[in-house]
Copies of this chain bind each other. A is one copy, B any other.
């Protein structure tokens, strides 16, 4: 089987949520798996000088409308959460831990966490909410919350963020197909074209 699609994302990125709902089916149509790689966009913003969308005058207002319209068009539930954006360090670490100890549930966690935040408006930066999300997919939440405080998991997330920056990841979702970079939910048609027909 060909190499997995690498899907860099932040759990606080609405367009990452939207893309996460279709990327696995897209990949499967072309015999690929998806390798989820949670990162923290704040680190990229420090380098690029970019800011979270709600803080950008003019663009922030449009973006709120676009999130909702794009979700409606895709037939996906969406609420703009409050607070938004949030710190997603806990969710990202939980994913990394799960991908080691319960890889079969790691993918389910991506979807459960995204839906909790963007479909139900639940603040997954809150440990109790995060625990509820973990339990909803059958994970030992106490073990998870303890694990994400351990130095090895913290270090692993930091290394993943640093690696993403070294590869030029400045936003999310950010997808690599055999090394070719594609930024944004908007680029899924190009990703599919690339998978189907090779480089263009």
| Contact A73–B200 (Cβ < 8 Å) | yes
| Contact B200–A69 (Cβ < 8 Å) | yes
State the CA gap A111–B43 with chains docked (Å). Answer: 40
Instruction: Taking A47-B57, A49-B56 as given, write out 6 further A-B residue pairs in contact, using a Cβ cutoff of 8 Å, ordered by the A residue number.
Output: A47-B58, A49-B51, A62-B170, A70-B190, A73-B190, A73-B193
| Contact A186–B186 (Cβ < 8 Å) | yes
Residues of B within 8 A of A57 (CB): 47-49, 170
| Contact B62–A168 (Cβ < 8 Å) | yes
Residue among B56, B181, B200 making CB contact with A72, cutoff 8 Å: B200
Q: Chain A: interface residue count, which band?
A: 20 to 34
| Contact A66–B168 (Cβ < 8 Å) | no
Residues of B within 8 A of A181 (CB): 62, 65
> Is A152's beta carbon under 8 Å from chain B?
no
Q: What's the number of copies of this chain in the assembled complex?
A: 2
**Nearest 10 CB-CB pairings of A with B:** A58-B170, A186-B186, A59-B170, A48-B57, A48-B58, A47-B57, A58-B168, A73-B200, A48-B56, A72-B200
Q: Chain A residues in contact with chain B, CB under 8 A?
A: 44, 47-51, 56-59, 61-62, 65-66, 69-70, 72-73, 165, 168-171, 181, 183-184, 186-187, 189-190, 193, 200
Which residue of chain B is the closest to A168 with respect to CB atoms? B58
From known contacts A181-B65, A183-B66, infer whether A58 and B73 are also in contact, taking CB-CB under 8 Å.
no
Q: Which one of A58, A165, A186 has the highest number of Cβ atoms from chain B below 10 Å of its Cβ?
A: A58
State the CA gap A184–B169 with chains docked (Å). Answer: 20
Residues of B within 8 A of A183 (CB): 62, 66
State the CA gap A169–B168 with chains docked (Å). Answer: 28
